[in-house]
Amino acid sequence: MKIEILICKSINEHCTGMTCFEASDYVSKSIAGQPTIKGVVLIDNNAVKFSFSSMSMDGDIFTDKVEHRLIVKYLIPIYVFNTIK
């Protein structure tokens, strides 16, 4: 499986913050206060748009595929954690 994360200024979607992202307590506390990010996760050449706020660990994932939603839900907090360390 090939996964690539692209951070964008806009994803041209209406974001509601209705998706809860998952991370360990250590990760969520470490990334609290980081700016909201928007972007695209490419999963085997399938584009999944997302928005993520580290303040409340929520955002949006724009796909109906359960597998892709789970990947983005757990991957993005870890990505943010790794980019600030």
Domain count, the chain: 1
pTM given for the model: 0.92
Whose structure tokens read 């983005």? Answer: 72
The domain in which residue 7 lies consists of: 3-84
Contact criterion met (CB below 8 Å) for 68 and 10 = no
Torsion, Cα of 26, 31, 33, 38 (10° steps) = -140
Q: For 39-60, how does the pLDDT look when each residue is reduced to its tens digit (9 = 90+)?
A: 999 999 999 999 999 999 999 9
**One pLDDT digit (tens) per residue for the chain, 85 residues:** 899 999 999 999 999 989 999 999 999 999 999 999 999 999 999 999 999 999 999 999 999 999 999 999 999 999 999 998 6
